[in-house]
Amino acid sequence: MSRILVYCGFRKSRELALPTVGVNAVPVEVASFGALSLLWSEVEWPFGPDRMQQSAVEFHAVVHKVFHQTAVIPFRLLSVFDDQQAFTTFAAENQERFLRDLERLKNFVQMECVVYPAPSQVDRSSGKAYLEQKAVALRSSEGFAQSMRDAVAHVSREVRVRESKNGTRIFVLVERGRENDFRQAVSAVAIPEHLSRRMSGPWPAAEFLSEQVKMPQIDRVADAK
C-alpha cells in the first residue's frame, strides 16, 4: 500500500536546485499549481517504526535543501495523503493561501530561544523540593522571556512566546541574513544562574504561518502515527 508524502510548498522558480530523493531514498516529485510548487513522494505505507527516526531526518533534509534557497511552507513531519486525488484537491483548495503566506514571509526565517530551569541548579534530594524549585524557576523563565524579547526587538519583525511545563519558548521572525544579529542580541543578555537557554535556527517560519494555512494540514492530512 502506498501514500502521498508531501514535504513542503514554495514559489515556483527555475533557479532552485531541488532534491531528487527523499524518505527511504524514493524519488522526489514536483507538482505545480500556478505559481505554487509542492515537493512530494509516493511512499510505502505504513512507515516502519524501526526506521521512523531516519525517515524524519530524510524528510527534514528535503525541506531544508529548499529552505536554504527560498521561503518554504513545511508540511507536518511524515504526514501523508491517501492518494493523488486527495493531494491535488488539497493543493487546489489552498493554493492562494499558501502563496499569500510565501509572499509575506519570503525574506524571513524563524529563530528560536528556549529558556528553562538549569538542571544543575535543581535540588533532587526530595520530590517536594524538586517540584517547588522547578516551579520557581519556571515563573522566573516567564519573566526573563520579556528581557529576551526586548533584546531582539531591533532584529525581529514579530515575536511569539509559548509557555510549557518545561520552560518558555520564544519564536522570532528575523530577516534572512540577520541570524547572527539575533544570536549576538540573545547572548548579550545575562541569564540568571538558575536558568539556562538554548538557541536554534534558522528554520522555516512555521510558527508565523496564517491560521488558514496551518489548519488544513491538521484537518485534511493523515498522521503517520
| 108 bridge partner residues | 175
3-class secondary-structure state, position 118: coil
- The pTM assigned to this predicted structure is 0.87
Give, in order, the Cα–Cα distances in Å from 155 to each of 84, 117, 168: 42, 26, 20
Query: Cell numbers of 108, please?
Result: 524571513
191 DSSP 8-state letter: -
Place of cell 549576538: 184
What is the predicted pLDDT for the residue at 219? 47
Q: Name the class of domain 108-206.
A: alpha beta
| Residue from 29, 56, 59 nearest 42 by CA | 29
For the chain (225 residues), the mean pLDDT of every run of 10, in chain order, is: 95 97 97 97 89 94 98 91 94 95 98 84 59 65 79 93 85 97 94 88 97 65 51
